[in-house]
Amino acid sequence: MNKATQADLIISILKSKESVTADQLMHLDIKNPSAVVSRLIQQGYLIDTTVITKKMARSSSSSSQIIYTLREAVRKPLFG
């Protein structure tokens, strides 16, 4: 039986949920989600990356969260 790769897992999640956060992926033992998503984009997947910054309550610090969203499964070739 073939073991699913981290890229396979991310694509499966994005196809079923439409979007996922980097923290959610890290909880699934994907240690560097941005690197895996970057490789998927290079392979032709259209994945949007959105950074959300929230100010922490009762503090002057803020927290950022990355959200990945699948736009299309695979980019169509330009020719042929």
- List CB contacts of 30: < 8 A, sequence separation 6 or more: 6, 9, 10, 36
- Residue 60 is predicted with a pLDDT of 78
Name the residue ranges covered by the structural domains of the chain. Answer: 6-72
Tokens of 9: 């897992």
Angle between helices 6-17 and 33-42 (to 10 degrees): 80
Is the predicted pLDDT of residue 1 greater than 60, yes or no? no
Mean pLDDT across the chain, nearest whole number?
A: 86
Is the predicted pLDDT of residue 2 greater than 60, yes or no? no
Which DSSP state fits 80? -
% residues pLDDT > 90 (the chain):
64
Distance, CA of 45 to CA of 43 (rounded, Å): 6
